Structure 1
Amino acid sequence: MPIESGPTKREPRVQRALRLASGTALCLAASFGLELPIPFIAPVLGLMLLATVNRPLSLKAGLGLALVAMLTTGSGLLLIPVLRYYPVSGVLLIGLGLFLAFHFGLRGGNNLIVTFLVIGLTMISAAGTADFGLATLVIGALVKGLLLAVMVLSFSHWLFPEPTSGQSPPAAPVLPAEEARWVALRATLVVLPAFLLALIDPASYLPIILKAVSLGQQSCTTTARNAGRELLGSTLLGGLLAILFWFALGLFVHLWMFFLWMLLFGLLLARKLYALSPTRQTPGFWLNSLVTMIILLGQSVQDSAAGKDVYTAFAVRMGLFIVVTLYACLMVHLLDQRRRVRQPAR
């Protein structure tokens, strides 16, 4: 039976918090239970859908979104020959593509399409330079993860339906053309170094690209004044939560416990995200913390299953996450200072 009582009808944020936590936990458990390739992608995509869409997607819309994801991420396949034989030109083309993708989102474009475009330009092309099969594997993982996320979105809306009185979240403001160009340039410079790092060893550094994509989108909504707290704070909190989650899961290792712990952590952060427990931090802070936790935790689970040293791999990955985040903060400060210098004095 769908859960729809009197109080939740009056408070849509409660339903949304329950829906986000339960849907993300279900995506995580189903993805690892079905042994999907790159299993942490499905809960990340599910989290993004649940946080931005307050209505279930129809079958036609879900299949259409999966087709769009396949086409946009597949665009990275076209750049593989250029990167292999003309690396400088290839990197410049990818930088231009990132700028246009972020600029499209800042001027009112669909953020999900922007996400898939950025992933296609970076993750897919980087993977393809090492092995074309790895690139197709990543595309397959993205499409399968998105289809799972769409199904979980519909189930979560059935379980915790949106109240009829609930209002859709306001659309992100469309930035003026000049400001959009500056912010898009800033986001591009945040993502590009992680892409260059991934070209060294794509199989090992693909999570770094996914983190950089998240930072690039988060940097579009932050300012130089709160960049350190917003970007670095959420990264450190995500790492701390991943450590706590890992030790909690070690008490009793089972797929259902994986689901239940994810549900608990998701509920705690969803309360902050939807201001049921008000804080000074923005919703983007809590969303990025949850994304960081899922990426780090998912990689640690895969390392454990492969027999790798989990703690060493986590320390290296967390260190890279912090370096990428510090670089993002530096870009925000430098470009904002340059922009203020260029503006005429009033």
Structure 2
Amino acid sequence: MSSGTAVADTNWAKLRKRLGDRLVLPQDAGYDQLRLPYNHVYANRRPAAIARCVSPQDVQACLDFASHERIPIAARSGKHSYAGYSVPEHGLVADLGGMADVRVDGSSARVGAGARLIDVYEGIGGAGRALPAGSCGTVGIGGLTLGGGIGVIGRKYGLTCDHLTSARIVTPDGCHRTVSAHEEPDLFWALRGGGGGNFGIVTSFTFRTDPAPDLAVFSLQYPAGATADVFDAWQEWIATTPDELWSGCGITATGALSTIGFDGTYVGQAKDLHRLLDRMPPGGERTVREMTYLEAMRFFAGPADDPGTAFVASSRMLRHRVRGKRIAELVDGQRDGFLQLDSWGGALSRV
């Protein structure tokens, strides 16, 4: 059956019998709000139904139904797919937002696949532990982990998927599986940043955590016209900084000369961070604040109810240095736009 073929009402009734009012069809109240993705470029996408899953059994019911009806199915954790992949046109959305528990047991944390990062940080950070993950609080842990998971302490602690010790997954054959380095290791390997998680629907993750560190958070902003020289200096600087320091470069189009600035974190004390920042070009406006791990994650997370917006974005990995003059030429004179570059290396580059 093609993705555009409608499913008979009687068949949806069968799935509703298993899910109850957690199955939301286009004629149901709340459908238009539930289907809306974070990237509003895809706001016109209309899935055939949205299943608000609260258990692995709900996920199994969705997979069984999609397989029988031969319609597309997509798991949705935080709605942040830049390309709208979590909202399949005429397909079934398995929304995992109702599976968001965060439980910490010693150095281990079990996290439901629908948990948002801000909830993960509150649960893990509140227990005095840390997990390297993304900076946007409304991103879901599911898509982030299955795609690798980069964030503001990654140079020190690595990718989110590096800390994954096991996962619970429902595979397309309807089986509930626990995967780890010792149980179905090939599938476990495939879930750790490879293939976008297209091997079933993960329902929960178990992570190894670290003791929560204290951090120094900084901002360094330069005036318009400094982009080329400062960008060159930043590339030289990050090649010599320790793993404890992560920095992100943001270049903003203004319609004339672009502006350049940096945000970042340092695992350690402010006085040591200041010594590192002193090696950057003068003329920037600097702020440094010491925070706990949880305070820093809240700081970067932004509003917990971010509704999203319409945008077009793409990303690339730069394996070699880029001349600052070329970066400035790319952005200068543009009416709007934002170019973001993150410094990797450290634990992120050690496999």
Structure (1 or 2) with the greater helix fraction: 1
TM-score by length of 2: 0.26
TM-score by length of 1: 0.26
Structure (1 or 2) with the greater strand fraction: 2
Larger RCO, structure (CA 8 Å, separation 6 or more): 1
Question: Looking at CA atoms only, which structure, 1 or 2, has the larger radius of gyration?
Answer: 2
